């Protein structure tokens, strides 16, 4: 079979690009081997899938060299040469489609060949193009530093002109690039540390602390935004989240798409952590961030919704009692769900929407036949327990169903190997409290007795899923 790398390269070409590849095979500038054109004419019959049995090595060899005996080395050499030819074609296409890259390559060549006038003029032109871009981020400062350093250190450049700021500007640009890089690496390092529970060493980041960082940040709002995003992870109490929100969305247009999403989700993760401590304050802020993220097209990835974000948006909308907005969101965005799990995700979120409006029977009916990927089993079972408990508070005859679901959930937690003990423990504690509370109510214990028994466990333990909801249930007993 033809080499995997070559086939992947050819599949990546559009129909127009693939047709134009024939002209390259005819060009004496790129090849003087007539076999390349024969090979192309054979391949074009199989574009774009290249899955025909006729692509076996022996068949290919016979098409190119009709009278010769099969020679594997000769054929492999043809594959290597054609791969290099295709790679040259990719570079040519890149230059055609990207004027800036073409100009950069030309300027580099002028510099190497000591055509200094063209090199200097071209460098200044590239700098002007760079200044015209909206970004003042890491990539901007790196390109600026490289262009200015290339100009300053060229052997034909005058080094001692007092009016020339080339070296100073290059140095300042490299400093800004260094700060952007170290702060971004700091964000990634701290995030990994939080997820993997493993300390990550990052050299030179502490150097920023010894500099007058605040003065440097004042001149670059985008760098200030990156630094505050890092501080969210290391010193969360030092950040005014509303001021950060204003800075983030004001500077959004200066961020490239990937950086927009990285900082957006970094802030959301921080807000959700804070909401566990102070839900009354942060739930509304999270909902506001999600709404703005939808408006700015930050939440969806590659034209589809991840299940967690779709669910979170509905949850925080309902917590803000924006039920009409949540319903409209479901109607407008359900078509963007991952098709494989769309039906289950939709049923689950409709069940959640009914739950928040205290329409528990409708919620339970949707959950009964709801199918989600195994990764969401805990979330699904958690909501089901809540709904049945709410129904139990209205009608004690639900106690048998509730006890059965609790036992089933506990058995699942003991059996599954998909979650660590650290992940399981909060759910065991949650089920324990619900079981005790249900049992107390069934045995008609007084409110004082129930609160005396359960409130210490709830107040003293931070390792309980749905702690705030459970506290509300116990404290709200009448």
217-245 pLDDT, tens digit each: 777 888 888 888 888 888 888 888 888 99
Same domain, 127 and 73: no
Both 46 and 92 in one domain: the answer is yes
In a domain? residue 174: yes
Q: Is the pLDDT of residue 167 over 70?
A: yes
pLDDT of residue 211: 66
Out of 97, 125, 149, pick the residue that ends a domain. Answer: 97
Whether residue 173 contacts residue 144, with contact meaning beta carbons closer than 8 Å, is answered with: yes
Percent of the chain with pLDDT over 70: 96
**pLDDT computed for residue 195 by the predictor:** 66
Same domain, 122 and 57: no
pLDDT digits (tens, 9 = 90+) for 393-436: 999 999 999 999 999 999 999 999 888 888 899 999 999 999 99
Domain count, the chain: 3
* pLDDT at residue 475 greater than cutoff 70: yes
> What per-residue confidence (pLDDT) applies to 216?
67
Last residue of a domain, one of 78, 97, 116: 97
Tell me which of 97, 119, 154 is where a domain ends: 97
Same domain, 17 and 89: yes
pLDDT at 414: 93
CB atoms within 10 A of CB 57: 14
Strand (E) or helix (H) holding 118: helix 116-132
Which region among 127-141, 205-219, 237-251, 286-300 has the lowest average model confidence (pLDDT)?
205-219
> What number is the average pLDDT over the span 296-321?
88
pLDDT at 409: 95
Question: Are both 119 and 134 inside the same structural domain?
Answer: yes
Q: What is the pLDDT of residues 50-105, one digit of tens each?
A: 887 778 888 889 989 989 999 999 999 999 999 999 999 999 998 887 877 888 88
- Give the contacts of 280 (CB within 8 A, at least 6 positions apart): none
- 26 belongs to a structural domain: yes
Domain range holding 427? Answer: 388-478
Which pLDDT value is given to residue 13?
A: 93
Which pLDDT belongs to residue 196?
65
Q: Within a domain: residue 461? A: yes
- My answer on whether 91 and 117 are in the same domain is no
Residue 279 forms part of a structural domain: no
The verdict on 89 and 131 lying in the same domain is no
In the predicted model, is pLDDT for residue 317 greater than 70? Answer: yes
Please tell me whether residues 449 and 428 are part of one structural domain: yes
- Report the distance separating Cα 176 and Cα 142, nearest Å: 8
Interval 255-271: pLDDT, tens? 888 889 889 998 998 89
pLDDT at 101: 81
pLDDT of 387:
96
d(CA 142, CA 148): 10
Q: For residues 207 and 454, give the distance between their C-alpha atoms in angstroms, rounded to a whole number.
A: 50
Confidence band, pLDDT 50/70/90 cuts, at residue 205: confident
Query: Higher model confidence: residue 102 or residue 18?
Result: 18
177, part of any domain: yes
> Does residue 105 sit in the same domain as residue 74?
no
Residue written as token pair 């060493």: 201
- Tell whether 91 is covered by a domain: yes
pLDDT of residue 154 exceeding 90, the answer is: yes
Per-residue pLDDT at 213 exceeds 70: no
Residues 419 and 470 reside in one and the same domain: yes
* 164 inside domain: yes
Task: For residues 172-201, give the mean pLDDT.
Answer: 82
DSSP code of residue 152: H
pLDDT of residue 89: 94
83 plus 109 within the same structural domain: no
Euclidean distance between CA atoms 34 and 41, whole angstroms: 11
The length of the chain, given as a count of residues: 478
Tell me what pLDDT residue 4 has.
83
Give the mean pLDDT of the chain: 89
Predicted pLDDT of residue 215: 67
Say yes or no: 392 and 478 in one domain: yes
pLDDT(279) > 90: no
Cβ atoms < 10 Å from Cβ of 15: 9
Give domain status of residue 310, yes or no: no
Helix (H) or strand (E) holding 234: helix 221-234
């Amino acid at each position: 079979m033809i080499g995997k790398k070559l086939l992947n390269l050819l599949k990546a070409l559009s129909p127009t690009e693939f047709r134009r590849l024939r002209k390259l095979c005819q060009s004496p500038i790129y090849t003087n081997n007539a076999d390349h054109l024969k090979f192309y004419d054979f391949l074009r019959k199989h574009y774009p899938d290249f899955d025909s049995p006729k692509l076996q090595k022996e068949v290919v060899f016979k098409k190119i060299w009709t009278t010769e005996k099969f020679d594997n080395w000769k054929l492999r050499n043809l594959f290597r040469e054609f791969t290099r030819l295709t790679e040259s074609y990719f570079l040519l296409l890149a230059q055609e489609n990207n004027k800036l890259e073409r100009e950069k390559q030309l300027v580099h060549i002028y510099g190497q060949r000591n055509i200094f006038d063209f090199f200097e003029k071209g460098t200044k032109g590239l700098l002007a193009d760079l200044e015209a871009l909206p970004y003042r981020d890491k990539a901007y400062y790196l390109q600026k530093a490289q262009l200015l350093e290339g100009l300053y250190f060229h052997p034909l450049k005058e080094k001692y002109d007092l009016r020339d700021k080339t070296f100073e500007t290059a140095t300042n640009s490299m400093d800004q690039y260094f700060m952007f890089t170290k702060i971004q690496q700091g964000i990634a390092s701290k995030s990994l540390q939080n997820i993997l529970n493993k300390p990550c060493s990052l050299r030179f980041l502490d150097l920023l602390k010894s500099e007058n960082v605040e003065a440097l940040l004042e001149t670059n709002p985008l760098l200030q935004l990156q630094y505050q995003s890092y501080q969210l992870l290391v010193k969360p109490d030092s950040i005014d989240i509303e001021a950060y929100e204003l800075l983030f969305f004001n500077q959004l247009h200066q961020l490239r798409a990937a950086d927009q999403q990285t900082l957006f989700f970094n802030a959301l993760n921080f807000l959700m952590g804070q909401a566990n401590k102070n839900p009354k304050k942060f739930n509304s802020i999270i909902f506001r961030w999600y709404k703005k993220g939808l408006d700015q097209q930050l939440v969806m990835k590659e034209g589809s919704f991840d299940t967690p974000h779709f669910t979170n948006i509905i949850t925080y909308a309902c917590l803000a009692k924006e039920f009409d907005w949540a319903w409209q969101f479901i109607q407008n965005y359900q078509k963007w769900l991952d098709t494989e799990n769309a039906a289950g995700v939709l049923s689950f979120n409709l069940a959640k929407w009914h739950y928040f409006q205290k329409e528990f029977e409708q919620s339970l009916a949707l959950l009964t036949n709801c199918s989600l990927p195994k990764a969401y089993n805990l979330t699904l079972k958690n909501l089901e327990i809540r709904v049945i408990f709410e129904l139990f508070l209205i009608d004690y005859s639900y106690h048998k169903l509730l006890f059965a679901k609790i036992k089933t959930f506990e058995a699942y937690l003991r059996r599954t190997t998909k979650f660590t003990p650290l992940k399981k423990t909060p759910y065991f504690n949650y089920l324990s409290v619900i079981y005790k509370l249900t049992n107390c109510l069934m045995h008609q214990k007084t409110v004082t007795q129930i609160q005396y028994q359960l409130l210490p466990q709830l107040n003293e333990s931070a390792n309980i899923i749905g702690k705030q909801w459970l506290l509300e249930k116990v404290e709200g007993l009448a």
